[in-house]
Structure 1
Amino acid sequence: MTDLIKRLQERRANVWEQAKELLDAAEKRGGAWEGEEEQKYQRLNADLDAIDLRVKDMADAEQRAKDAEAAFAGLLAKPETAPVADKRDSELRRWARGEMRGVDIAAPSGVSFRDLTKGTATAGGNTVPTTFYGQLMAHLIEVSGVMMAGPTVLNTASGETIEVPVTTAHSSAALTAEAAAITESDPAFAKRTLGAYKYGVLLQASSELLSDTGVDLEGYLAMQAGRALGNAFGVHAVTGDGSSKPTGIVTSASTGKTGGTGVAGAFTADDLIDLYYSVIAPYRNSTSCGWMMRDATLAAARKLKDSQGQYLWQPSIQLGTPDTLLSKPVHTDPNVAAVATTAKSVIFGDFSAYFVRMAGGVRFERSDDYAFNSDLVTYRAIIRADGLTVDQTGALKVFAGAAT
């Protein structure tokens, strides 16, 4: 495993170097691609994404292996029971030898196998069982990146309103002449309120499907419900307007940089550098400071250079660690607006200033009675959550495309 990780790491660095060579060559020609250069560049970007996905899969597989090892340890600790001969099997053999005129076949228990015709049926092909891969392969989707960006998460047992006191202005001193009155300067305070908005999803499956399926369908439904809840909250965590829903990061963030005209909202390297320095140093130095944008926007940011000819984007040299833009980690979220005029397409700042409140955790419940007349098993998943940028003095800022 260690050798594989090293090879992936080396391959990722090599792919990025090839991509840089293509970008440099195109830049020398005034940004024009030649031949199949652009297609090759897109393939290299796809390779980078594929390597990142494989690394994530490896991390997930390692965690599953640990979980399986713990489960096996628990099973092996149980006392073993002696095997019991299958009476039905012996009766079938006696019937096949002609020693019995008939036999009753009970419904099979446990995992059953389907017959598969192999060759000709009369040659015994019908006796070949079908081998079934017992894990459901789920297609991948884009998910919310807010929770991965390092917000402050408040977990509470109940959903009563939480009021968070914050400062909106600090005291300031002034040079004062001898015997002159000292000017009063008091700090200013405000309150931010976090509630608990309910998100829910209902899933149903027939009892026959749950009984007969060869995969852990119930486990998949639990995962699917959790992902659906996370995605629903993720939309509001970015763009929610605070009206009977959470207030998103973009909603309360101030504009740190506005793009130039005539470029359909696109940004330049200088624009991102200006946005970076529009956030003051105490927030920039936070371990939760970073960037957030959608994948297509990140693809454009990867091509940008500073005045010294250095790429703003740098691939991570450590697997599992986010890539960086101006030395700050980059998080992607499909809910951030695409590059366009007036669109707020890039977020930068200290994401710990965004508070996520979770009331009561995630509830995943099963009911065999809700759809009793249809013999359907119903699953219900619920979370109660809210989100708000508590520090609104400039901890998070956005890049906005020009109006024209």
Structure 2
Amino acid sequence: MSSFIKALQERRANVWEQAKELLDTAESEKRDLTAEEEAKYQAFNADLDKIDQRAKDLVEAEQRTKDAEAAFAGLLAKPEEPGARKGQEKDSELRRWARGEMRGVDIAKPEGVSFRDLTKGSATAGGNTVPTTFYGQLMAHLIEVSGVMQAGPTVLNTSSGETIEIPVTTAHSSAALTAEAAPLTESDPAFAKRTLGAYKYGVLLQASTELLTDTGVDLEGYLAMQAGRALGNAFGVHAITGDGSSKPTGVITSATTGKTGGTGVAGAFTADDLIDLYYSVIAPYRNSTSAGWLMRDATLAAARKLKDSQGQYLWQPSIQVGAPDTLLGKPVHTDPNVAAAATTAKSVAFGDFSQYFVRLAGGVRFERSDDYAFNSDLVTFRAIIRADGLLVDQTGAVKVFVGAAT
């Protein structure tokens, strides 16, 4: 496996070098890419995306194998004790429910402090020794399809869905030079009060009786993947562009403008625009480990072409499989719900995404029905979560690039 991964890394580096050669040739000749060169460049970008996806699949497959080996090793290493089944009760309960022996089941967040780092490089730090719960699998798939959830927001898990009042910073205090014995000028921070609710997101899943009775099917993995991706896609739209009216408030909606593009370029950005956007975010947020970029895939393809004044590419491919690429040294997260580059469009966001709060109320509610699709011999499952989102520091923790209006 290691030799294959090394070959994958070398192939990725080779593809990027070929893409750079196209761009450098056009730049040296002071012209744009020809139609043929543009087609080749887009093909190189597609190859990079495919290699990244393959690397991601390998990491996930290796993680699942190690989790399974660790779980079996733990079971075989010691006899079962009276209290040992407590952690397995939900799993067996889930299987009884899937077989139709129970009507519904709540998959709550695991008890106690059980925070696990879902970044790709965490497995070697001990993550491989911890079996993945059903809740953990579902949340991993939810994060997988939502750019905001990948970017590292602050997640608040609550057991119930009552409204939470959050103070939102709208202005900071400021100091001033003061003469001896002169009175100090009062400067209080400005706050607004916002609420985090619990909006309901749900999905129906249907599976044939044959699928459920097949002992070779990874039932938990199948349900976790399908439900997690569906719920992540639904919540992800509002986490980006929600207006706060009977839905979460999106991070792009709340972010302030850090840079407006030039005229006559149909909303496109330049290297200088992204550099200006980067430095429009103040140092404490810019230097945070949660700071990063958020844009859609097509926008990232354009950003890969940009160079700084020294001729260095702003975009730097990762040298480690599974680790994110960087733009000006910060990780890039993609989400299809971010607007495409266009006039007045907010097409790129940069800042500290830990200042975006995501509230998850309760766990995940699963219910099944044998009657809903009785004539098709399908079993119907219903998955429901309750969530909300809000950018709590609106003084400029996250800023956006806006295409010029004219």
Residue 5 of structure 1, CA deviation: 2.2
Q: Say if 1:189 and 1:217 are closer, same or farther in 2 by CA, change over 3 A.
A: closer
Contact conserved, 2:358 with 2:389, CA < 8 A, in 1? yes
Contact conserved, 1:151 with 1:356, CA < 8 A, in 2? yes
Comparing 380-389 with 63-72, which one deviates more in the overlay? 63-72
Residue 370 of structure 1, CA deviation: 5.4
Normalising by structure 1, we get a TM-score of 0.78
Q: Say if 1:369 and 1:276 are closer, same or farther in 2 by CA, change over 3 A.
A: same
Deviation digits for residues 131-151 of structure 1 (CA, Å, limit 9, x no counterpart): xxxxxxxxxxx9321111011
Question: What are the residue-to-residue correspondences of 1:85-164 with 2, within 5 Å?
Answer: 143-164=145-166
Contact conserved, 1:358 with 1:385, CA < 8 A, in 2? yes
1:28 paired residue number? 28
Comparing 40-49 with 324-333, which one deviates more in the overlay? 40-49
Q: In structure 1, how many angstroms separate the alpha carbons of the residues matched to 2:301 and 2:45?
A: 8
Contact conserved, 1:259 with 1:399, CA < 8 A, in 2? yes
Q: Say if 1:71 and 1:217 are closer, same or farther in 2 by CA, change over 3 A.
A: same
Q: Say if 1:169 and 1:21 are closer, same or farther in 2 by CA, change over 3 A.
A: same
SS in structure 1 of the partner of residue 323 of structure 2: coil
1:171 paired residue number? 173
Q: Say if 1:370 and 1:44 are closer, same or farther in 2 by CA, change over 3 A.
A: closer
Residue type of the partner of 2:288?
S
Is 1:60 aligned to residue 50 of structure 2?
no
1:48 paired residue number? 48
Counterpart selection for 1:265 from 243, 253, 267: 267
Residue 375 of structure 1, CA deviation: 5.3
Residue 18 of structure 1, CA deviation: 1.8
Q: Say if 1:30 and 1:210 are closer, same or farther in 2 by CA, change over 3 A.
A: same
Q: In structure 2, how many angstroms separate the alpha carbons of the residues matched to 1:143 and 1:274?
A: 29
Q: In structure 2, how many angstroms separate the alpha carbons of the residues matched to 1:374 and 1:20?
A: 54
Q: Say if 1:365 and 1:67 are closer, same or farther in 2 by CA, change over 3 A.
A: farther
1:84 paired residue number? none
Contact conserved, 2:168 with 2:394, CA < 8 A, in 1? no
Q: In structure 2, how many angstroms separate the alpha carbons of the residues matched to 1:74 and 1:366?
A: 32
2:328 paired residue number? 326
Contact conserved, 1:226 with 1:381, CA < 8 A, in 2? no
Q: In structure 1, how many angstroms separate the alpha carbons of the residues matched to 2:282 and 2:214?
A: 60
Is 1:38 aligned to residue 38 of structure 2?
yes
1:15 paired residue number? 15
Comparing 237-246 with 13-22, which one deviates more in the overlay? 13-22
Q: Say if 1:375 and 1:23 are closer, same or farther in 2 by CA, change over 3 A.
A: closer
Is 1:317 aligned to residue 319 of structure 2?
yes
* Matched residues, number: 342
Q: If you compute each CA radius of gyration, which structure gives the higher value, 1 or 2?
A: 1
Counterpart selection for 1:365 from 364, 367, 371: 367
Q: Say if 1:218 and 1:318 are closer, same or farther in 2 by CA, change over 3 A.
A: closer
Structure 1, unaligned runs of 5 or more:
80-141
Structure 2, unaligned runs of 5 or more:
80-143
Q: In structure 1, how many angstroms separate the alpha carbons of the residues matched to 2:182 and 2:75?
A: 82
Is 1:183 aligned to residue 185 of structure 2?
yes
Counterpart selection for 1:285 from 284, 287, 303: 287
Q: Matched residues, percent identical?
A: 86
Is 1:256 aligned to residue 228 of structure 2?
no
Contact conserved, 2:242 with 2:253, CA < 8 A, in 1? yes
Residue 402 of structure 1, CA deviation: 1.1
Deviation digits for residues 148-172 of structure 1 (CA, Å, limit 9, x no counterpart): 1011111111111112234433333
Q: In structure 1, how many angstroms separate the alpha carbons of the residues matched to 2:35 and 2:160?
A: 62
Residue type of the partner of 1:283?
Y
Contact conserved, 1:290 with 1:351, CA < 8 A, in 2? yes
Deviation digits for residues 293-347 of structure 1 (CA, Å, limit 9, x no counterpart): 0000000000011111111111011221110111111000000001111111001
Question: What are the residue-to-residue correspondences of 1:196-235 with 2, within 5 Å?
Answer: 196-207=198-209, 210-211=212-213, 215-216=217-218, 219-235=221-237
Residue type of the partner of 1:328?
K
Residue type of the partner of 1:315?
P
Residue type of the partner of 2:21?
E
Contact conserved, 1:343 with 1:401, CA < 8 A, in 2? yes
Contact conserved, 1:151 with 1:353, CA < 8 A, in 2? yes
Contact conserved, 2:295 with 2:348, CA < 8 A, in 1? yes
Residue 50 of structure 1, CA deviation: 1.8
* Greater length-normalized contact order (CA 8 Å, ≥ 6 residues apart): 2
Q: In structure 1, how many angstroms separate the alpha carbons of the residues matched to 2:340 and 2:182?
A: 56
Q: In structure 2, how many angstroms separate the alpha carbons of the residues matched to 1:296 and 1:261?
A: 21
Residue type of the partner of 2:29?
R
Q: In structure 1, how many angstroms separate the alpha carbons of the residues matched to 2:38 and 2:405?
A: 30
Deviation digits for residues 90-133 of structure 1 (CA, Å, limit 9, x no counterpart): xxxxxxxxxxxxxxxxxxxxxxxxxxxxxxxxxxxxxxxxxxxx
Contact conserved, 2:211 with 2:217, CA < 8 A, in 1? no
Q: Say if 1:65 and 1:22 are closer, same or farther in 2 by CA, change over 3 A.
A: same
Counterpart selection for 2:389 from 387, 390, 401: 387
Q: Say if 1:68 and 1:214 are closer, same or farther in 2 by CA, change over 3 A.
A: closer
Contact conserved, 1:222 with 1:364, CA < 8 A, in 2? no
Residue 33 of structure 1, CA deviation: 3.3
Deviation digits for residues 204-263 of structure 1 (CA, Å, limit 9, x no counterpart): 344355446974567524421221111000000000000000000111101111111111
Q: Say if 1:202 and 1:184 are closer, same or farther in 2 by CA, change over 3 A.
A: same
Contact conserved, 2:169 with 2:394, CA < 8 A, in 1? no
SS in structure 2 of the partner of residue 394 of structure 1: coil
1:95 paired residue number? none
Residue type of the partner of 1:248?
G
Contact conserved, 1:144 with 1:335, CA < 8 A, in 2? no
Q: In structure 1, how many angstroms separate the alpha carbons of the residues matched to 2:227 and 2:376?
A: 22
Is 1:243 aligned to residue 245 of structure 2?
yes
